[in-house]
């Protein structure tokens, strides 16, 4: 008996003509995720993927595969010779494991058989009945054919036969790389790493830009952003982080307009610089962690004024999320513990206690008119430091 993992994908099926493209990419991403495991293989089979985990074993493979977007669910499976004895023994073993994992009251179960190898002497319903009877005899579990707690699946194929009894949810979404590239503005906070992760989830390849205001924000903050990118790169594969040196730009902006407009001026400039970076990398949109009304700079009035400076679409995956929801996601994906470490926020630099909640475009433009914005943005983007971040 050997172990493998059945990988299911759902949404990709909806894509009609593009299905092939999505499947290819998913297969490639599964292979990339399994790179740390020597001898692992991924094969496409009838609208699913079969992963042979190699010597590392299926549990380790599932840990890695559970972070590949586009995966709807995963099942550890036992590969067995196509005879009733072997299939029955495998089904019993897997059911036993699943019952132990669930603890509590004995779960109901059902055996479902699919037989694509018509040479097999029994028909599918007979196989299910035979194996079901063995499980009842050995484990005394109740059968429920309509809504079983545990679904034991037996597949008798021409090339190989296998059995599985557990289904682990995958991360859903679409394979990274199927939606094009975006540039995410990632700070050391809680929100923006979650926003970047959500863009990955919808199939975007993501590069990150962080605006660093040394010496006002220390190098620890830069390290923190690298750590955050490292965490989310586990869902993405190696990613690029650009660190833009923002201090001089901030000083120029701060000198150009009233203090209460400072944050809006910084944000507009961040979008311009990030868009310049995006243009150089072939990104089609920017991503931020803004959420409507969360802080003064995120009122609808201010977002409108900020957006006005962006020469490409700005995606805001968190726009309608509450902070508690964002925190729950951050915990789940592992960024929260890094985000809550102390850091300095560059946007609180040189800013008043009461920033404008309704910035007016004409006032902002009057302040900006004193500066050569295009030159500042191009220089900041060109001088950005590049880091390659891996999980």
Binding track, positions 338-357, relative to ligand ATP; x by CB under 6 A: --------xx----------
Decide if residue 190 touches ligand ATP (CB under 6 A).
yes
Decide if residue 294 touches ligand ATP (CB under 6 A).
yes
Decide if residue 187 touches ligand ATP (CB under 6 A).
yes
Torsion of CA 63, 68, 71, 73, to 10 degrees: 10
Decide if residue 295 touches ligand ATP (CB under 6 A).
yes
* Residue where the block lists tokens 């307009």: 257
- Return the number of the residue (127 or 199) whose C-beta is nearest Mg ion: 199
- Return the number of the residue (176 or 270) whose C-beta is nearest Mg ion: 270
Contact 69, 235 (CB under 8 A): yes
Pick the piece of the chain touching ligand ATP (CB under 6 A) from 148-156, 172-180, 190-198, 233-241.
Answer: 190-198
Distance CA(122)–CA(133), nearest Å, equals: 15
Decide if residue 302 touches ligand ATP (CB under 6 A).
no
Q: Could you tell which of ligand ATP, Mg ion, none binds residue 355, using a CB distance below 5 to 8 A set by kind? A: none
Pick the piece of the chain touching ligand ATP (CB under 6 A) from 141-149, 226-234, 283-291, 352-360.
Answer: 283-291
Q: Could you tell which of ligand ATP, Mg ion, none binds residue 367, using a CB distance below 5 to 8 A set by kind? A: none
Decide if residue 291 touches Mg ion (CB under 5 A).
no
| Continuous segment of H or E residues that includes residue 38 | none
Q: From the CB of 350, what's the least distance to Mg ion, in Å?
A: 16
Pick the piece of the chain touching ligand ATP (CB under 6 A) from 80-88, 102-110, 137-145, 184-192.
Answer: 184-192
- Check the CA dihedral 334-340-344-350 and report its sign: positive
Q: Which of residues 149-188 bind Mg ion (CB under 5 A)?
A: 187
Contact 389, 239 (CB under 8 A): yes
Q: From the CB of 300, what's the least distance to ligand ATP, in Å?
A: 14
Task: Give phi and psi for 308, each to the nearest 5.
Answer: -55, -25
Q: Could you tell which of Mg ion, ligand ATP, none binds residue 295, using a CB distance below 5 to 8 A set by kind? A: ligand ATP
Backbone angle region of 279, left / alpha / beta, with phi > 0 → left and psi within -120 to 50 → alpha: alpha
Distance CA(222)–CA(62), nearest Å, equals: 32
Decide if residue 183 touches ligand ATP (CB under 6 A).
no
| Continuous segment of H or E residues that includes residue 112 | strand 109-115
Distance of CA 285 to CAs 69, 207, 280, Å? 20, 11, 12
Bridge partners, 150 (sequence order): 109
Q: Could you tell which of ligand ATP, Mg ion, none binds residue 161, using a CB distance below 5 to 8 A set by kind? A: none
Q: How many Cα atoms within 13 Å fall on the side-chain side of residue 1? A: 18
> What does the binding site for Mg ion look like in residue numbers (CB under 5 A)?
187, 189
Binding site for ligand ATP (CB under 6 A): 185-187, 189-192, 210-211, 270, 288-290, 294-295, 297-298, 346-347
């Amino acid at each position: 008996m050997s172990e493998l993992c059945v990988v299911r994908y759902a949404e990709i099926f909806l894509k009609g003509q593009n299905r092939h493209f999505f499947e290819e990419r998913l297969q490639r991403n599964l292979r990339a995720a399994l790179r740390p495991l020597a001898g692992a293989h991924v094969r496409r089979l009838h609208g699913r993927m079969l992963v042979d985990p190699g010597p590392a074993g299926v549990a380790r493979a599932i840990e890695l595969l559970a972070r590949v977007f586009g995966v709807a669910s995963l099942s550890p499976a036992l590969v067995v010779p196509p005879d009733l004895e072997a299939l029955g023994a495998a089904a019993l073993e897997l059911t036993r494991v699943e019952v132990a994992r669930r603890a509590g009251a004995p779960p109901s179960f059902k055996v479902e058989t699919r037989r694509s190898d018509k040479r097999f002497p029994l028909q599918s319903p007979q196989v299910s009945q035979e194996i079901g009877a063995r499980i009842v005899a050995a484990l005394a579990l109740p059968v429920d054919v309509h809504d079983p707690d545990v679904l034991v699946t037996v597949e008798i194929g021409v090339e190989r036969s296998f059995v599985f009894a557990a289904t682990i949810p995958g991360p859903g979404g679409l394979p990274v790389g199927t939606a094009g590239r975006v540039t995410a503005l990632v700070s050391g906070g809680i929100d923006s790493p979650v926003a970047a992760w959500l863009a990955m989830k919808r199939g975007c390849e993501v590069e990150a830009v962080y605006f660093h205001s040394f010496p006002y924000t220390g190098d620890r903050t830069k390290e923190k952003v690298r750590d955050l990118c490292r965490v989310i790169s586990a869902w993405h594969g190696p990613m690029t982080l650009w660190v833009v040196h923002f201090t001089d730009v901030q000083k120029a902006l701060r000198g150009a307009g009233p203090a209460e407009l400072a944050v809006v001026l910084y944000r507009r400039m961040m979008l311009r610089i990030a868009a310049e970076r995006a243009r150089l990398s072939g990104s089609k949109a920017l991503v931020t962690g803004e959420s409507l009304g969360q802080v003064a700079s995120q009122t609808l009035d201010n977002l409108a004024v900020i957006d006005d400076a962006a020469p490409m679409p700005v995606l805001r995956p968190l726009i309608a999320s509450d902070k508690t929801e964002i925190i729950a996601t951050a915990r789940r994906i592992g960024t929260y513990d890094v985000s809550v470490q102390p850091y300095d926020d560059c946007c609180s630099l040189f800013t008043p206690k009461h920033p404008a909640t309704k910035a007016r475009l004409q006032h902002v433009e009057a302040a900006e008119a004193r500066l050569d914005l295009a030159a500042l943005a191009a220089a900041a983007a060109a001088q950005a430091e590049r880091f390659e971040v891996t999980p």
